[in-house]
Homo-oligomer: A and B are copies of this chain.
Amino acid sequence: MGIARAWVSMSLDGFITGPKDDHENPMGINGELLHDWMFSSDRDAVEQDSTNQMFTATGAIVMGRRMFDLGISPWGNQNPFAFPVFVATHRPREPFESPDKPPMTFVESFAAAVAAARKAAGEADILIVGGASAIQQGLAEGVIDELHLAIVPILLGSGRSLFSPGELCGMKFELTQTLPTPAATHLILHPQR
How many angstroms between the C-alpha atoms of A149 and B182 in the bound complex? Answer: 15
How many angstroms between the C-alpha atoms of A111 and B29 in the bound complex? Answer: 31
Q: Which of A63-92 contact B (CB under 8 A)?
A: none
Q: Is the CB of A166 closer than 8 A to any CB of chain B? A: yes
**Smallest distance from the beta carbon of A184 to chain B beta carbons, Å?**
8
**Smallest distance from the beta carbon of A183 to chain B beta carbons, Å?**
8
One of A100-108, A114-122, A123-131, A151-159 contacting the partner: A151-159
How many angstroms between the C-alpha atoms of A110 and B154 in the bound complex? Answer: 24
Give the number of chain A interface residues (Cβ < 8 Å).
Answer: 37
Which one of A14, A156, A176 has the highest number of Cβ atoms from chain B below 10 Å of its Cβ? A14
Q: Which of A154-175 contact B (CB under 8 A)?
A: 154-158, 161-163, 165-175
**Smallest distance from the beta carbon of A119 to chain B beta carbons, Å?**
30
Determine whether the beta carbon of B172 is less than 8 Å from that of A154: yes
Which B residues are CB-close (under 8 A) to A161?
Answer: 13
Q: Is the CB of A60 closer than 8 A to any CB of chain B? A: no
Which B residues are CB-close (under 8 A) to A33?
Answer: 172
Determine whether the beta carbon of B185 is less than 8 Å from that of A171: no
Q: Is the CB of A30 closer than 8 A to any CB of chain B? A: yes
Chain A interface residues (CB < 8 Å from chain B): 12-14, 19, 29-30, 33, 149, 151, 153-158, 161-163, 165-176, 178, 180, 182-183, 185, 187, 189
A-B residue pairs, 4 tightest by C-beta: A157-B169, A178-B180, A13-B163, A153-B173
List 23 A-B pairs, Cβ < 8 Å: A12-B173, A13-B161, A13-B165, A13-B168, A19-B169, A29-B169, A33-B172, A151-B151, A151-B185, A151-B187, A153-B173, A153-B189, A154-B172, A154-B173, A155-B169, A156-B169, A157-B166, A158-B165, A158-B169, A175-B183, A178-B178, A178-B180, A178-B185
